[in-house]
Amino acid sequence: MVVASFANSLLGGRTALRQAQAQQSRSAARAQPVRAAATVAEKDASLGFKTMRSGIKEAAAESVLTPRFYTTDFDEMEELFSLEKNPNLDMDEFDAMLSEFKTDYNQTHFVRNETFKKAADNITGPARKIFIEFLERSCTAEFSGFLLYKELGRRLKKTNPVVAEIFTLMSRDEARHAGFLNKAMSDFNLALDLGFLTKNRKYTFFKPQYIFYATYLSEKIGYWRYISIYRHLQRNPDNQLYPLFEYFENWCQDENRHGDFFSAILKSQPQFLDGWTSKLWSRFFCLSVYVTMYLNDHQRSAFYESLGLETTQFNRHVIIETNKTTARIFPEVPDCETPEFWDQMEKLIVLNKKLVAIGQSDAPAILKNLQRLPVVERFAAELLQLFIGKAVASGADGIDSSAPIPVY
């Protein structure tokens, strides 16, 4: 999942270093890559990545902006999906979704061909490093979804077998996505040890309500990212540096289906769509996801440029489209189509650059912390400005189709 990293930090997310379930480890092992040859890995050592062993990359250090692994209150989840306790569960809709997931449209889609390795070998220098970083972020995010959905499928089996099976089938999709990305990483001689990550990475606790907002947004923003990259490369085939992107058209349909499932879940939990607190949380999670993506991508604009994309334009398009999609179900979303919104986002980029520069300087740790303080304060103030900025009342019943669309 591309998840709301800012949300963890701002909520002071309860994190727990959990030993993951043995079952998860076994499933994780299935998504593991083939190791690459040591000699080529040595050649890649100049890229500055640390390895755990030959061909296996040490995971990037966790930060506010890196994808997280999530856990939740599974007892509360069981209550929410109990047919006896929740009269709002539309089982006809879930049954229809289950049969669609069982159809497994992408069963034969993720098959690699001989062009991958050669294309990877042709990506050299700084572009190679940013490619590997992109693959690692994407693989970790997909794998995070796999772990959470797998566990939900297991825990809800008795309470609601239909919903449980959908979660299990979604974890099938995410394992495929993560495995495909990890194989791509092995083309660059640096794969991830997903079994090791399962057992050793921190798990962030989100209560079910937050999981629903965050996963809905992650899936939909994932859809818009993949389809936008795919369409751009269809129009500009010369920028197709690596065959992975050719798979994005069908791949993004998986993410779209996952998002639609969370939309059905939210409809079955009207308490998370009604009232002022739901509106505030909806807006908060939208902003967390948008800000995380905007800052992350602008920190790595060279990657998007290597594909011929203009980072700011690409990000704005993805955020605006995700926001429009989200407005169909969330009770409130930020108004992303005003110049003020983007001015605020630009201010965050400037402040984030300052924070990165401080982090990379040779100053002693104590001095770095002192230098960070006013910047972090400013950053928090700008975030607050975004949060109290213009919002759009939305939701399935609240859309006013005659309202003019603001131009920025």
The SS3 of residue 191 is strand
Residue with Cβ nearer Fe ion (183 or 258): 258
Q: Choose the stretch contacting Fe ion; rule: CB under 5 A; options: 10-18, 20-28, 211-219, 331-339.
A: 211-219
Residue with Cβ nearer Fe ion (226 or 242): 226
Residue with Cβ nearer Fe ion (210 or 261): 261
Asked whether 216 and 27 are in contact (CB, 8 A), the reply is no
What whole-number distance in Å separates Cα of residue 181 and Cα of residue 187?
A: 10
Nearest distance in Å: CB 149, Fe ion? 8
Nearest distance in Å: CB 215, Fe ion? 8
Strands 203-205 and 15-16, by their bridges, are antiparallel
Residue with Cβ nearer Fe ion (129 or 172): 172
Residues 6+ apart with CB under 8 A from 368: 358, 359, 361
Nearest distance in Å: CB 261, Fe ion? 9
257 touching Fe ion, by CB under 5 A? no
Residue with Cβ nearer Fe ion (187 or 255): 255
What whole-number distance in Å separates Cα of residue 293 and Cα of residue 316?
A: 10
Nearest distance in Å: CB 177, Fe ion? 4
258 touching Fe ion, by CB under 5 A? yes
Number of residues that bind Fe ion (CB under 5 A): 6
Residue with Cβ nearer Fe ion (50 or 102): 102
H or E element that contains 132: helix 125-155
Residues 6+ apart with CB under 8 A from 105: 250, 253
Residue with Cβ nearer Fe ion (151 or 174): 174
Residue with Cβ nearer Fe ion (142 or 321): 142
Looking only at residues 176 through 205 of this chain, which bind Fe ion when binding is defined by CB under 5 A?
A: 177
Nearest distance in Å: CB 257, Fe ion? 8
Looking only at residues 160 through 179 of this chain, which bind Fe ion when binding is defined by CB under 5 A?
A: 174, 177
What whole-number distance in Å separates Cα of residue 252 and Cα of residue 29?
A: 24
316 touching Fe ion, by CB under 5 A? no
260 touching Fe ion, by CB under 5 A? no
297 touching Fe ion, by CB under 5 A? no
- Write the interaction track for Fe ion spanning residues 53-92; mark x where CB under 5 A is met and - where it is not: ----------------------------------------
Alpha-helical regions (H) of 270-364:
275-299, 301-306, 311-326, 339-360
Q: Choose the stretch contacting Fe ion; rule: CB under 5 A; options: 235-243, 250-258, 265-273, 311-319.
A: 250-258
Q: Which residues of 236-272 are buried (b: 16+ CB within 10 A; e: fewer)?
A: eeeebbbbbbbbbeebbbbbbbbbbbbbbbbbbbeeb
Nearest distance in Å: CB 226, Fe ion? 9
What whole-number distance in Å separates Cα of residue 120 and Cα of residue 38?
A: 16
Candidate residues 44, 255, 332, 382; the one interacting with Fe ion per rule CB under 5 A? 255
What whole-number distance in Å separates Cα of residue 39 and Cα of residue 43?
A: 7
Q: Choose the stretch contacting Fe ion; rule: CB under 5 A; options: 24-32, 58-66, 215-223, 240-248.
A: 215-223
290-293 contact pairs (CB < 8 A, 24+): 290/221, 290/319, 290/322, 290/323, 290/334, 290/336, 290/345, 291/6, 291/345, 291/348, 291/383, 291/386, 292/2, 292/4, 292/5, 292/6, 292/65, 293/2, 293/221, 293/225, 293/318, 293/319
Nearest distance in Å: CB 88, Fe ion? 24
225 touching Fe ion, by CB under 5 A? no
Q: Identify the CA nearest to 251 among candidates 176, 355, 145, 200.
A: 176
Residue with Cβ nearer Fe ion (6 or 223): 223
Residue with Cβ nearer Fe ion (9 or 106): 106
Nearest distance in Å: CB 173, Fe ion? 6
Residues 6+ apart with CB under 8 A from 144: 1, 3, 67, 68, 69, 70
Looking only at residues 96 through 155 of this chain, which bind Fe ion when binding is defined by CB under 5 A?
A: 142
Residue with Cβ nearer Fe ion (198 or 352): 198
What whole-number distance in Å separates Cα of residue 295 and Cα of residue 297?
A: 6
Nearest distance in Å: CB 187, Fe ion? 19
Binding site for Fe ion (CB under 5 A): 142, 174, 177, 219, 255, 258
